[in-house]
């Protein structure tokens, strides 16, 4: 919002032409980009264009009799809403249908497949100590089936995960205090890896690429190793037996062992390392739950093994719990010094611990690509669904409002705009040309930017946003009106046009900036705080406010400066809107050049 | 237009003017009355929360010749709930019923099918929960509260706390009136309504700030003169920005009026009407409040300031002295066609010509020559 500070009376007078050329180039570039991207219309919301509707059905889990209730369903709706509506501008809608279904409507042009993956994932995350781990081979020596058929992205995350310790650069919720932060001030706390070279990553996170599952630290060749009973959680004989029989290569088996699992019990589980080999685990009861993850980010790790990883910040409680569990595990024998990060029943990684990690952070690394890391981070940030869902149907839905609403809206908007133009011409005469040109530029910028935001941030325009854009016309026009009135006031003072244009600018500029800042503040606050449609609105408001300032500064003002040199305006032609006589100027003190009948061609006036 | 232009010039010079601030009791009275009406409407009639907030059932029928009003009747009879039926452009009906459960929906469907003379299977019924959960609403309230706090702080820094307070009162006034009109008209509150309200929020403040900006400018060196009281200056700043206020309001309202009357006329009820009604009422209220409420309030607050009280004393004393000398300060002026009533009013600020055209007496300061009086 900051305007380039220019000396008073200078303004952009020096080179208005250059500024004009600049904004026109920007406009051409945007339009060109729009055509190149192949999207020539803004993405429309469901209400206007329809889209895809996904119906999810809550599944009854054994052992959770009354899990499907209104509270849980509403929580699930909120979480799914955040997942599909990351930025709040995509206009996706989530609502319950009946007692056990959730409908997710996604506007046309969204990547439906990706969205489906996001809404369906339960995202229950637990940190459990590893009691026993073995590579899992088919028990019957059968084929390794299921690897190919299982497209689940989590399977691709082999893991060379490391719990990152260290101080956090930004601290959202008072992790700073509390016990769990002794390493805060140590700029290099040893990393939990055998090779200790503490390095700072951008956010103050220390981490190390750990040897992957193949390394000698994570022995894989102990097939005959029987799990040692762990003092913290003695696996029952039943569990031992289950473990011995477990074949993780069979997807059916993998699904089966996830059923009816309670976080407070030891379990058997499966996990895949980065080479795609399955490991089977006995895991102790959950020590930290994913609920304690405050925030998760996808980070590109430029150090060590370059690649995408997901870093997590724990809450206060989580930090404490995580410090405790890692403290307990540190110094134990492999594999009991490892903890499993279990996502939806599958072990996504099993980093081992060298010392208590009290920095309140952990990370999951593996062979992610960018989208996978982002999706996982997104899912983790917004928490676990209280229920498991099954995708029931995916269908296309037609527009909720039908085209006639949009048509009527656009027609009405056009009529309104025509009325505005007529009014401006009646009142401002020639000046209206400048206003209309500015409105045109403003409209063109808004349209192209909104169109380009469709593919980039999934921005979708719904009917309220269209109306908002129409109202924004009025607010944009206000900036011109403020400026024109200032110019006229200066002329009433008896100034000629050119000095009037320059003197009026700083005063008008301040008014425009102060009032636009208020609008922008509203947009920014609402965008940060709210979710869903309100957030989408805030985005539109912020965008139009910014464009208003840009257009006035880089188009209207320079154009006015140029026009002020034209005889038609400077001479105060009676059609110019700047006729001193009409403005009721008492004969000026200085000589005002008033061409009584200018030879300049009168510009055609069309409304 | 030249008449208007001339008027603008005279407004600018303060030759003519409408006494907005002096008549503030009237405006406050009007506003309090409207606000009370809005409150009563809210209490008595309440707001119809739309299906997005409450959930319910939606029935879409195939083409039918039955009128929307009739369909509404049928649906209400069948469900025992408030129903809203809309005829869409393609002769189908959309019937929304809030607060309907599953076992009722089949019954309603068959009733509708019978009355509308279509197959029950062709009516597509959907039972929906709110897509605007509590969370969205809560977050929206939270955002509003935070915004109001920040904007008051900002305005207090950019202008002064009195203006910040007045702007906030004007804002609440606009929102209350808009919500009240909704309760009166009985339109359903949809996401469109909420978005309209939020637009108003931005616009109302925007408009107020423009007027305040001029007020701040004009009252810069107020304490250094003894010609006008703060209220008079406030009034002059309203008058000098009046043309801009009127133009802006017209320009902002025209497209919305287009949406409301033309768009609504095409289609009857619908999302467009929702949004444009809240916008229309809110924008009009916003323009009204920035002139008739916010600025007089600032003047009221400001006049309690000891400095301003002293100034008022000085000004009045000086005027009395002048009157005693037999100089009339009052120059009757034609009334400006401002606001809704244009009665003859004496000029508020009455120099014989524009302030700038006055010979600069009694002021040595600021002269390059440094000439003393």
Q: What is the pLDDT of residues A404-463, one digit of tens each?
A: 667 777 787 788 778 888 888 888 877 888 888 888 888 888 888 888 887 777 777 777
Handedness of CA B271, B276, B281, B286 (dihedral sign): positive
Considering only A62-76, A137-151, B47-61, B91-105, which range has the smallest mean pLDDT? A137-151
For residues B43 and B39, what is the distance between their CA atoms, to the nearest angstrom?
6
For residues A112 and A109, what is the distance between their CA atoms, to the nearest angstrom?
8
**Is the pLDDT at A112 greater than 80, yes or no?**
no
Confidence label for A157 from pLDDT (cuts 50, 70 and 90) = very low
What is the number of helices (H) and of strands (E) in chain A? 15, 13
Q: pLDDT at position B43, please?
A: 87
Average pLDDT over residues A198-209: 34
**Is the pLDDT at A203 greater than 50, yes or no?**
no
pLDDT tens per residue across span A369-406:
777 777 777 777 776 777 778 777 676 655 655 566 67
Tokens of A161: 């995960």
**Is the pLDDT at A599 greater than 60, yes or no?**
no
Q: pLDDT at position B133, please?
A: 63
Nearest-CA residue of chain A relative to B136?
A531
Q: pLDDT at position B308, please?
A: 81
A408–B150 CB contact, under 8 Å:
no
Contacts of B59 in chain A (CB under 8 A): none
Tokens of A530: 């709210």
Q: If you search the block for the tokens 């399955």, which residue do you land on? A: A278
Alpha-carbon torsion angle B230, B232, B238, B240, nearest 10: -110
Q: Is B359 on the interface with A (CB under 8 A)?
A: no
Average pLDDT over residues A284-299: 81
Mean pLDDT of all residues in chain A?
69
Q: pLDDT at position B165, please?
A: 92
Q: pLDDT at position B116, please?
A: 75
Q: Is B262 on the interface with A (CB under 8 A)?
A: yes
Strand-pair partners of B87: B93
**Exposure string (b/e) for B55-90, b if CB count within 10 Å is 16 or more?**
bbbbbbbeebebebeebbebbbebbeebbbbbbbee
pLDDT tens per residue across span A484-534:
888 888 888 778 888 888 888 998 888 888 888 888 888 888 888 877 677
Residues of chain B numbered 222-261 and touching chain A (CB < 8 Å) = 240-241, 243-244, 247-248, 250-259
**Is the pLDDT at A149 greater than 70, yes or no?**
no
Contacts of B136 in chain A (CB under 8 A): 81, 530-534
Q: Determine which of B195, B207, B279 to mutate to test the interface with A (most A C-beta atoms within 10 Å).
A: B195
Q: Determine which of A78, A88, A416, A439 to mutate to test the interface with B (most B C-beta atoms within 10 Å).
A: A416
Q: Greater confidence, A582 or B206? A: B206
Is residue A383 within 8 A of residue A312, CB to CB? The reply is no
Q: How many CB pairs under 8 A join A and B?
A: 271
Residues of chain B numbered 151-190 and touching chain A (CB < 8 Å) = 151, 154-155, 158
**Is the pLDDT at A593 greater than 60, yes or no?**
no
For residues A358 and A356, what is the distance between their CA atoms, to the nearest angstrom?
6
**Is the pLDDT at A154 greater than 70, yes or no?**
no
Of A420, A517, A581, the CB nearest to B255: A420
Q: pLDDT at position B128, please?
A: 63
For residues B336 and B329, what is the distance between their CA atoms, to the nearest angstrom?
20
Contacts of B131 in chain A (CB under 8 A): 93-95
A515–B135 CB contact, under 8 Å:
no
B248–A477 CB contact, under 8 Å:
yes
B259–A409 CB contact, under 8 Å:
yes
Rounded to a whole number of angstroms, the distance from the CA of B248 to the nearest CA of chain A is: 5
Q: pLDDT at position B92, please?
A: 65
**Is the pLDDT at A538 greater than 70, yes or no?**
yes
DSSP E strands: which ranges in B111-168? 124-128
**Is the pLDDT at A572 greater than 80, yes or no?**
no
**Is the pLDDT at A79 greater than 70, yes or no?**
yes
What is the number of helices (H) and of strands (E) in chain B? 14, 6
Contacts of A503 in chain B (CB under 8 A): none
**pTM of the shown model:** 0.64
**Backbone phi, psi, residue A30, to 5°:** -65, -45
A474–B254 CB contact, under 8 Å:
yes
Contacts of A534 in chain B (CB under 8 A): 136, 139-140, 143, 194-195, 198
Considering only A229-243, A264-278, A302-316, A338-352, which range has the smallest mean pLDDT? A229-243
A493–B356 CB contact, under 8 Å:
yes
B9–A103 CB contact, under 8 Å:
no
**Is the pLDDT at A100 greater than 70, yes or no?**
yes
Residues of chain B below pLDDT 70: 1-16, 58, 67-69, 72, 76, 80-94, 96, 98-103, 124, 126-129, 131-135, 263-271, 326-373
Of B12, B131, B191, the CB nearest to A492: B12
Q: pLDDT at position B5, please?
A: 58
Of B88, B126, B258, the CB nearest to A402: B88
Contacts of B263 in chain A (CB under 8 A): 408-409, 411-412
A522–B201 CB contact, under 8 Å:
yes
Q: pLDDT at position A291, please?
A: 76
Question: Alpha helix locations (H) across A429-462?
Answer: 431-457
DSSP E strands: which ranges in chain B? 48-49, 56-60, 83-87, 93-98, 124-128, 188-189
Q: pLDDT at position A192, please?
A: 38
**Strand order through the sheet with A361-368:** A293-301, A307-314, A361-368
Q: pLDDT at position A161, please?
A: 41
Q: pLDDT at position A595, please?
A: 40
Q: pLDDT at position A184, please?
A: 34
Q: pLDDT at position A581, please?
A: 63
A408–B267 CB contact, under 8 Å:
yes
Mark residue A146 as left, alpha or beta (left: phi above 0; alpha: psi -120 to 50; beta: remaining): left
Confidence label for A138 from pLDDT (cuts 50, 70 and 90) = low
Question: A10: which DSSP letter?
Answer: T
CA-CA distances (angstroms) from residue A297 to A293, A343, A530? 11, 16, 20
B356–A426 CB contact, under 8 Å:
no
Q: pLDDT at position A111, please?
A: 65
């Amino acid at each position: 919002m900051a305007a380039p500070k220019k000396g008073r009376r200078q303004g952009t007078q020096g080179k208005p032409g250059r500024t004009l050329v600049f904004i026109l180039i920007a406009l051409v570039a945007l339009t060109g980009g729009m055509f190149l991207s192949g999207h020539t219309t803004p993405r429309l919301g469901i209400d206007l264009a329809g889209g895809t509707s996904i119906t999810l059905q809550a599944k009854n889990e054994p052992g959770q009799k009354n899990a499907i209730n209104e509270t849980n369903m509403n929580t699930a709706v909120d979480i799914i809403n955040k997942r599909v509506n990351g930025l709040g501008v995509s206009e996706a809608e989530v609502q319950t249908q009946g007692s056990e279904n959730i409908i997710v409507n996604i506007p046309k042009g969204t990547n439906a497949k990706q969205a489906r993956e996001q809404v369906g994932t339960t995202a229950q995350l637990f940190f459990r100590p590893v009691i026993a781990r073995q590579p899992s081979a088919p028990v019957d020596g059968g084929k390794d089936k299921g690897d190919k058929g299982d497209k689940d992205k989590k399977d691709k995350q082999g893991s060379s995960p490391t719990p990152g310790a260290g101080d956090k650069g930004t601290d959202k919720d008072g992790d700073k205090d509390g016990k769990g932060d002794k390493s805060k001030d140590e700029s290099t706390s040893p990393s939990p890896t055998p090779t200790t070279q503490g390095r700072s990553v951008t956010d103050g996170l220390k981490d190390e690429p750990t040897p992957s599952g193949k390394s000698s630290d994570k022995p894989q060749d102990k097939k005959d190793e029987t799990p040692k009973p762990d003092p913290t959680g003695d696996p029952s004989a039943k569990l031992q037996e289950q473990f011995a029989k477990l074949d993780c290569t069979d997807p059916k088996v993998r699904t089966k062992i996830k059923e009816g699992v309670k976080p407070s019990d030891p379990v058997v589980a499966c996990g895949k390392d980065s080479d795609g080999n399955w490991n089977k685990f006995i895991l102790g009861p959950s020590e930290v739950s994913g609920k304690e993850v405050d925030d998760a980010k996808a980070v590109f790790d430029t150090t060590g093994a370059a690649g995408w990883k997901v870093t997590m910040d724990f809450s206060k409680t989580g930090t404490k719990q995580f410090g405790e569990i890692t403290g307990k595990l540190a110094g134990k024998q492999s594999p009991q010094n490892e903890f499993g990060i279990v996502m939806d029943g599958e072990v996504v990684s099993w980093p081992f611990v060298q010392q208590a990690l009290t920095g309140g952070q952990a990370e999951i690394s593996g062979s992610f690509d960018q989208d996978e890391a982002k999706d996982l981070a997104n899912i983790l940030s917004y928490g676990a669904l209280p229920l498991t869902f099954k995708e029931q149907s995916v269908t296309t839905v037609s527009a909720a409002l039908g085209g006639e609403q949009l048509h009527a809206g656009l027609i009405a908007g056009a009529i309104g705009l025509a009325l505005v133009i007529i009014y401006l011409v009646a009142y401002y005469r020639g000046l209206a040309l400048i206003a209309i040109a500015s409105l045109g530029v403003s409209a063109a910028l808004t349209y192209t930017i909104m169109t380009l935001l469709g593919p980039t941030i999934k921005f979708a325009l719904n009917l309220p946003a269209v109306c908002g854009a129409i109202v924004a016309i009025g607010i944009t026009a206000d900036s011109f009106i403020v400026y024109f009135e200032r110019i006229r006031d200066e002329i009433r003072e008896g100034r000629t046009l050119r000095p009037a244009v320059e003197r009026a600018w700083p005063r008008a500029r301040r008014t425009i900036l102060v009032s636009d800042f208020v609008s922008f503040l509203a947009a920014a606050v609402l965008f940060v705080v709210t979710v869903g449609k309100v957030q989408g609105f805030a985005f539109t408001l912020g965008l139009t406010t910014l464009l208003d300032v840009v257009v006035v500064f880089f188009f209207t003002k320079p154009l006015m400066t140029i026009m002020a040199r034209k005889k038609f305006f400077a001479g105060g032609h009676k059609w110019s809107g700047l006729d001193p006589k009409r403005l009721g100027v008492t004969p000026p003190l200085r000589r005002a050049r008033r061409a009584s009948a200018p030879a300049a061609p009168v510009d055609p006036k069309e409304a | 237009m030249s008449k208007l232009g001339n008027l603008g010039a005279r407004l600018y010079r303060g030759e003519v003017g409408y006494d907005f601030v002096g008549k503030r009791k009237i405006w406050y009275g009007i506003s309090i009355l409207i606000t009370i009406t809005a409150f009563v409407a809210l209490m008595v009639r309440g707001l119809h929360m739309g299906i997005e907030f409450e959930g319910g059932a939606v029935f879409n029928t195939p083409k039918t010749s039955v009128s929307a009003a009739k369909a509404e009747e049928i649906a209400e009879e069948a469900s025992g709930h408030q129903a809203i039926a809309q005829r869409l452009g393609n002769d189908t009906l959309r019937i929304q019923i809030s607060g309907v459960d599953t076992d009722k929906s089949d019954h309603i469907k068959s009733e509708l099918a019978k009355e509308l003379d279509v197959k029950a299977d062709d009516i597509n019924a959907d039972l929906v929960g709110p897509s605007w959960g509590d969370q969205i609403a809560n977050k929206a309230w939270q955002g509003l509260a935070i915004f109001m706090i920040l904007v008051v702080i900002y305005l207090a820094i950019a202008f002064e706390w009195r203006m910040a307070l007045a702007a906030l009162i004007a804002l609440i006034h606009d929102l209350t009136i808009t919500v009240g009109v909704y309760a009166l008209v009985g339109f359903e509150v949809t996401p469109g309504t909420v978005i309209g309200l939020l637009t108003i929020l931005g616009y109302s403040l925007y408009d107020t700030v423009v007027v305040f900006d001029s007020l701040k400018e004009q009252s810069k060196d107020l304490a250094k003169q003894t010609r006008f009281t703060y209220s008079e200056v406030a009034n002059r700043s309203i008058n000098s920005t009046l043309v801009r206020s009127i133009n802006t309001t017209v320009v902002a309202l025209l497209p919305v009026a287009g949406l409301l009357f033309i768009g609504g006329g095409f289609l009857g009820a619908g999302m467009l009407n929702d949004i444009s009604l809240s916008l229309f009422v809110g924008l009009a209220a916003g323009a009204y409040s920035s002139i008739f409420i916010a600025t007089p309030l600032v003047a009221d607050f400001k006049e309690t300031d000891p400095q301003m009280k002293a100034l008022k004393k000085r000004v009045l004393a000086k005027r009395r002295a002048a009157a005693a000398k037999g100089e009339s300060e009052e120059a009757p002026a034609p009334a400006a066609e401002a606001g809704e009533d244009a009665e003859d009013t004496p000029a508020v600020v009455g120099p014989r010509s524009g302030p700038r055209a006055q010979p600069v007496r009694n002021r040595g300061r600021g002269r390059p020559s440094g000439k003393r009086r």
